[in-house]
Amino acid sequence: MKYSKQREMIFRAVQSMKTHPTADEIYTVLRAKHPNISLGTVYRNLNVLSEMGKIKKIRISSGSDRFDFRVDDHYHMICQACGEVIDIEIPELDPVLKRLESEGFDITELNLNLRGICNKCRRKKEEAI
């Protein structure tokens, strides 16, 4: 299979998974249909795609990187209990970013992850008490 074809396939897999998958999860999905694909190929292409700005790489300090089909500005809440990554918008942050840019800082990357317990897990915990 051609290199560009593989990249396109990996790109489409990320687009179809709305769950902020890890490289391993993407690999598992692809391997079902394409048994010849290697984990290394998936990793490499995910990194190329995120450098190209076609997908977003979310670096997670406590675990594997996640990949996001959304490339517009948004942030993430990560549940420590179930591992779910939830998209959040913080429009209140826009003026702050604009001010920093006007003060001369050219922002090229913005990663903001909040760690905590999601609503679902919090409720489960409360019910267990």
Nearest CB to Zn ion, comparing residues 30 and 79: 79
Q: Enter the DSSP assignment of 110.
A: -
Which of 52, 71, 82, 100 is in the footprint of Zn ion by CB under 5 A?
82
Beta-ladder partners of 58: 66
Which positions from 99 through 128 interact with Zn ion, judged by CB under 5 A?
Answer: 118, 121
The residues near 67 (Cβ < 8 Å, ≥ 6 apart) are 14, 20, 21, 22, 23, 26, 46, 50, 55, 56, 57, 58
Size of the site for Zn ion (CB under 5 A): 8
41-49, 72-80, 92-100, 105-113 -> range binding Zn ion (CB under 5 A): 72-80
Rank residues 10 and 79 by Cβ distance to Zn ion and give the closer one. Answer: 79
